[in-house]
């Protein structure tokens, strides 16, 4: 899918190229008689060539991509009634009128898909042709939505339309992840469609719902060119970014178009405006980050408030230039999963690897990773005879060592006294010092973390700790006076322990 600015192929750019050709033709006519004149003319020619090169460089740069270029409207030709229409009759508006009402340029001709009737298909396409980019939903050959999923004639029809209307850039497989799959549509059918489209630039969009994301879809999604992602239930939009991240991870480099419903079809109610705004703003953010390649608006219900809101939003943000994707955080990119054993893992960086510590039974396991945390290998284990050891946290320590807190207690004494200790490794986590007790925890005390601090200068500055003595919350009044939270663990004492840490071997 070419998601660059559609303006690249507009006639005005071709006109620029014609002007440039004229300039090239004019160059050889510059003088050629005497040596001096030749030198002078060479200089002039060099200057002219330079100017021309600069000019052509400027002209050949595509117009900056704007958010507007990425916006689509879902059109339903089968619902169209004579207009003119307003936001109050949006559902009955034709394709270009829907686009006008929302203020978006691109049209996805959907609904019942390309009609069998060639002349009707042609007239519907012609009506939408002012759009710079078009997509046609397609159903299998003949009547119905399949099975069988044979697309031979339909794709011939599409090829013919695309020859006449080159802005048709893709076909759309609606409900691919739900109805189609349920009726037996498989990856082989996508490949069959692709074979029919061979030799064209027409891409394949597949509609995927967040509610149906799962492994059974993977093969089909892998075959399409573009994922058109929709949240059927408005309540699911809360996790939309997570779903995008998942698709990014599972199908890297496959463009994602976000579908935005203006009606909550899953909930059978109007789309709450705050959720509409939330979706639009998320889509905007992801588009700027280069994480989604477009946004498709869909409703077949007349809700003038929602239509007007989207139209106003498009007007506000449409001219925003897409910022450099590299300048945005792409948290979802490179997401991988791993086996963690326990919730209590803590991670730090040693000189050559990433190291993690986890409580595993009555010991602390240390693993290392040399591929930035994608895979882990066992490195060492910390055990204490007759004792149970639990991992705390790594401190941010000098690069030559790892500093870890552990809690040590009797194996059978969950609510007995325990000790919070420091241990230190100077070889990247392979071997560890003997534990140095930082604090003694009375029975029934839930506290273990004085380690989130930095070793600096002559000592450890300030501790962090969890504290909930006797299962009750610590009274803030007492805490704020420093009496409770630092009880028995004042700064001075910590500085002492910090110096002690330096000598741990």
| Residues near other proteins, by CB under 8 A | 238-239, 241-242, 245, 325-343, 345-349, 354, 356, 372-374, 393, 396, 452-454, 456, 461-468, 473-474, 476, 479-482, 485-486, 491
Nearer CB in complex with other proteins: 42/456: 456
Angstrom distance (rounded) from CA 209 to CA 175: 8
Return the number of the residue (242 or 411) whose C-beta is nearest other proteins: 242
In angstroms, the CA 450 to CA 393 distance is: 9
DSSP assignment letter at 176: I
CB of 372 to other proteins, least distance (A): 5
Q: Which is nearer to other proteins, 88 or 341 (CB)?
A: 341
CB of 127 to other proteins, least distance (A): 42
**Nearer of residues 16 and 330 to other proteins, judged by Cβ:** 330
Identity of the residue, 241 or 305, whose beta carbon is nearer to other proteins in the bound complex = 241
Angle value at C-alpha 269, between 266 and 270, nearest 5 degrees: 115
Q: Which is nearer to other proteins, 28 or 457 (CB)?
A: 457
CB of 186 to other proteins, least distance (A): 29
C-beta of 63: minimal distance to other proteins in Å? Answer: 24
Token pair recorded at residue 331: 């948290």
Min CB(474)–other proteins separation in Å: 5
- The minimum distance between CB 429 and other proteins, in angstroms, equals 13
Q: Count how many residues are written for the chain.
A: 505
What is the rounded distance in angstroms from the CA atom of residue 52 to the CA atom of residue 35? 25
DSSP symbols for 353-405: SEEEEEEETTEEEEEEESSTTSS-EEEEEE--TTEEEEEEEE-B--TT-EEEE
Selection from 193, 259, 257, 249 nearest residue 220 by Cα? 193
DSSP 179: I
Provide, rounded to whole angstroms, the least separation between the CB of residue 486 and other proteins: 7
Shortest distance in whole angstroms from residue 72 CB to other proteins? 26
Instruction: Please give the helix or strand (H or E) that residue 453 lies within, else none.
Output: none
CB-nearer residue toward other proteins: 419 or 451: 451
Q: Which is nearer to other proteins, 195 or 458 (CB)?
A: 458
* Distant-in-sequence, close-in-space partners of 67: CB < 8 Å, separation ≥ 6: 284, 287, 288, 317, 318, 319, 320, 322
- The DSSP code sequence of 207-252 is EEEGGG-SGGGHHHHHHSSEEEEE-SSGGGGGGHHHHHHHHHHHST
Beta carbon of residue 381, minimum distance to other proteins (angstroms, whole number): 18
In terms of CB distance, is 346 or 407 closer to other proteins? 346
| Distance in Å, CB of 218 to other proteins, minimum | 18
Shortest reach from residue 215's CB to other proteins, in Å: 15
Q: In the bound complex, what is the minimum distance in angstroms from residue 468's beta carbon to other proteins? A: 5
Residue 91 or 348: the one with the smaller Cβ distance to other proteins is 348
In angstroms, the CA 229 to CA 248 distance is: 12
Q: Which residues pair with 409 in a beta bridge?
A: 388, 418
Nearer to other proteins, 164 or 466 (CB): 466
Question: For residue 16, which phi and psi values (nearest 5 degrees)?
Answer: -60, -40
**Choice between 13 and 461, CB closer to other proteins:** 461
Measured N-to-C along each axis, helices 152-164 and 187-196 cross at an angle, to the nearest 10 degrees, of: 50
Give the sheet arrangement for strand 436-441, strand by strand: 387-394, 402-410, 418-425, 436-441
Q: 169 or 367: whose CB is closer to other proteins?
A: 367
Q: How many Å apart are CA 451 and CA 436, to the nearest integer?
A: 13
**Minimum distance, C-beta of residue 460 to other proteins, in the bound complex (Å):** 10
Q: Cα dist. 171→178, 253, 368, 414 in Å?
A: 18, 19, 47, 62
> Is 449 exposed, middle or buried, given 0-12, 13-18 or 19+ CB atoms closer than 10 A?
middle
Give yes or no for a cis peptide into 158 (omega within 30° of 0): no
The three-class DSSP label of residue 347 is strand
């Amino acid at each position: 899918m070419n998601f660059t600015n559609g303006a690249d192929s507009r006639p005005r750019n071709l006109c620029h190229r014609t002007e440039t050709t004229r300039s090239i033709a004019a160059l050889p006519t510059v003088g050629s008689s005497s040596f001096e004149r030749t030198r002078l003319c060479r200089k002039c020619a060099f200057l002219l060539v330079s100017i021309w090169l600069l000019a052509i460089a400027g002209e050949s740069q595509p117009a900056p991509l704007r958010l507007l270029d990425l916006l689509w409207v879902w059109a339903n030709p089968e619902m169209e009634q004579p207009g003119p229409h307003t936001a109050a009759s949006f559902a009955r508006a034709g394709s270009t009128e829907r686009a006008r009402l929302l203020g978006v340029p691109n049209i996805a001709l959907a609904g019942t898909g390309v009609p069998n009737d060639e002349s009707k298909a042609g007239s519907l396409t012609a009506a939408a042709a002012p759009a710079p980019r078009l997509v046609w939903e397609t159903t299998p050959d003949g009547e119905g939505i399949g099975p069988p999923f044979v697309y031979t004639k339909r794709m011939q029809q599409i090829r013919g339309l695309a020859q006449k209307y080159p802005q048709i850039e893709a076909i759309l497989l609606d409900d691919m992840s739900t109805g189609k799959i349920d009726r037996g549509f498989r990856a082989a059918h996508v490949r069959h469609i692709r074979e029919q489209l061979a030799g064209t630039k027409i891409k394949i969009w597949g509609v995927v719902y967040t509610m149906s994301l799962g492994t059974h879809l993977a093969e089909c999604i892998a075959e399409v060119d573009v994922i058109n992602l929709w949240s059927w239930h408005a309540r699911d939009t809360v996790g939309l970014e997570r779903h995008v991240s998942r698709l990014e991870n599972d199908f890297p480099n496959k463009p994602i178009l976000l579908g935005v419903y203006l009606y909550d079809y899953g909930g059978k109610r109007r789309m709450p405006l705050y959720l509409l705004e939330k979706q639009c703003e998320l889509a905007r953010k992801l588009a700027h980050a280069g994480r989604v390649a477009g946004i498709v608006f869909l409703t077949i219900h007349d809700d003038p408030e929602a239509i007007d809101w989207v139209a106003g939003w498009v007007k506000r943000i449409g001219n925003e230039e897409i910022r450099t994707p590299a300048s945005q955080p792409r948290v979802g990119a490179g997401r991988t999963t791993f086996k963690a054993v326990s919730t209590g893992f803590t991670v730090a960086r040693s000189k050559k690897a990433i190291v993690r510590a986890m409580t595993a039974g009555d010991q602390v396991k240390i693993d290392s990773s040399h591929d930035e945390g994608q895979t882990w290998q066992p490195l060492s284990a910390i055990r204490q005879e007759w004792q149970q050891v639990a991992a705390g946290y790594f401190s941010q320590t000098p690069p030559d060592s790892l500093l870890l807190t552990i809690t040590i207690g009797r194996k059978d004494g969950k609510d007995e006294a325990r000790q919070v200790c420091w241990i230190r490794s100077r070889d990247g986590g392979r071997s560890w010092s003997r534990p140095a007790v930082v604090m003694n925890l009375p029975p029934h005390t839930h506290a273990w973390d004085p380690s989130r601090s930095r070793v600096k200068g002559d000592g450890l500055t300030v501790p962090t700790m969890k504290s909930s003595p006797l299962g009750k919350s610590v009274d803030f009044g007492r805490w704020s006076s420093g009496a409770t939270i630092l009880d028995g663990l004042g700064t001075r004492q910590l500085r002492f322990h910090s110096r002690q840490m330096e000598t741990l071997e």
